[in-house]
Amino acid sequence: MTDPTVSVIIPTYNRVALLREAIDSVRRQTFRSWELIVIDDGSTDNTGAFLAELAEPQLRVLRTEHSGNPARVRNVGLAEARGQYVAFLDDDDLWQPEKLEVQMGLLRTGGCRWSYTGFVRVNALGERFWQTTPDRIYCGSILEKLLGVQAAIALPTVVAERRLIDNVGRFDENMRTREDYALWLELAERGDVVATPQQLTIVRDHAGRLFRPEGCRVSVALYRK
């Protein structure tokens, strides 16, 4: 079997209704050379039954004991990924159908090893309340823009070479929040990025979305580093 071009990694825990929609947004991608790796972090709802019954040949399901550590769960998926590139999607977010196709075109012609897109935020009713603007989307060397909180990068917008992420040590499992931002800093330190202002990702805010109050403290520690 030919290895897929992109390994899509979705960690999940007790959000089967939202997970169903996230998976559907992957299945609707116009770019077809992908595998989907769902890591079930010890769900106690009917997530397991849903995944077991899902007729999707490009899907692989991994199960772990519940840790509540997003970095650790994503790293489990990264260790099993076969694609040249990896893409991240949280179980409560969505992709537009052309998302992977647009980014793979950018990566293949732009000479860069990672990419991100614009995105929108919607509330629990699906109503848009915030969106990226072109002045928040930067290409090339963006380390300074990241440190200045000028570049807007959401986790589910990123596609990167798997080897590049392996080289920087994947997600830092000692961080319980801002682990994605820490990874973007590592990637930006090692190479240019190509991006599009197209809003190809939908980030959903809802009552069950993970919020960690120590986020500000962790951000200060990152800046010191």
Which secondary-structure segment (H or E) carries 221?
Answer: helix 215-224
- Tell me: pLDDT of 220 over 80: no
The string of pLDDT tens digits covering residues 68-110 is: 999 999 999 999 999 999 999 999 999 999 999 999 999 999 8
Residue pointed to by tokens 């682990």: 179
Whole-prediction pTM? 0.91
Q: What are the two backbone dihedrals, phi and then psi, of residue 213, each rounded to the nearest 5 degrees?
A: -65, -15
Short-list 13, 204, 16, 216, CA closest to 95: 204
pLDDT of residue 224: 60
pLDDT of residue 177: 83
Q: What's the half-sphere exposure (Cβ side, CA atoms, 13 Å) at 90? A: 17
139, two tokens: 């290409």
Q: Write down all domains in the chain, each with its CATH number in brackets.
A: 6-224 (3.90.550.10)
Written as one string, the DSSP assignment of 66-90 is ----HHHHHHHHHHH--SSEEEE--
